[in-house]
Amino acid sequence: MASNRTRNQDQILQTLQSLNREIAAQELYIYLQENGHKVGLATVYRSLDVLKQQGEIQVRTLESGISMYSSIQRDRHHLNCVKCGKAEIMDECPLHDLEQKLSPGANFKVFYHTLEFYGLCYSCQASEAEDDHSPCTESSVKPVNSGASHPSSPQSCC
């Protein structure tokens, strides 16, 4: 499909391939401007959409709603922290076998796939554990059960 691409689409694809990382459309626009390529922001978005539909690039949408674009050189799967926004790349892909089975028999051409897990990173888990074990104040101490409290009943905070 390379013969159907415009000069701007070719430039954007080459840029994504040379960057070898994900980039947001606006960041890509700024990068192109800084490197002497006169292209409008709307053209960047249109070109990214065409390249995605041609299967030349992939897009990953962050929890914030920002779309991140990259060339399709290898699978990139992520563990995303919902608290701090950190994304770690996973080294393994459990979907390759399934993709190979789908392509020939399903009358469907797979360009790429994504796999995203959402949860808490190690640092945020540790931070939550510290918050859970922070010292109690008198106002935070509550009876363990809602029934009448026995004088020797233990009290729990939070």
Residue extents of the structural domains in the chain: 1-73, 74-124
Q: What is the pLDDT of residue 46?
A: 97
Q: What is the pLDDT of residue 156?
A: 38
Q: What is the pLDDT of residue 101?
A: 75
Q: Decide if 80 contacts 89 (C-beta within 8 A).
A: no
Burial, 9: exposed, middle or buried (Cβ in 10 Å; 0-12, 13-18, 19+)? Answer: buried
* Bridge partner list, 67: 61
3-state secondary structure of 88: strand
3-state secondary structure of 34: helix
All residues at 6 or more sequence positions from 125 whose CB lies less than 8 Å from its CB, including other chains: none
**Ordered per-residue pLDDT tens for the chain, 158 residues:** 455 899 999 999 999 999 978 899 999 999 999 999 999 999 999 999 999 999 899 898 887 889 999 988 666 788 888 889 888 888 788 777 787 777 666 677 777 777 888 899 999 999 888 876 655 444 443 433 333 333 333 343 33
Q: Does domain 1-73 have CATH number 3.40.1390.10?
A: no
Q: What is the pLDDT of residue 134?
A: 55
Q: What is the pLDDT of residue 19?
A: 92
Q: Going edge to edge, which strands form the sheet with 23-24? A: 23-24, 67-71, 57-61
Q: Which tokens is 90 given?
A: 């996973």
All residues at 6 or more sequence positions from 109 whose CB lies less than 8 Å from its CB, including other chains: 55, 103
Give me the helix-helix angle, 7-19 and 25-34, nearest 10°: 100
CA distance 112 to 57: 9
Q: What are phi and psi of 55, to 5 degrees?
A: 80, 20
CA distance 60 to 24: 10
Helix ranges restricted to H, 54-153: 96-105, 122-132
Q: What is the pLDDT of residue 96?
A: 75
Q: Decide if 23 contacts 70 (C-beta within 8 A).
A: yes
Q: Which fold has domain 74-124?
A: Dna Ligase; domain 1 (3.30.1490)
Question: Model's pTM, two decimal places?
Answer: 0.58
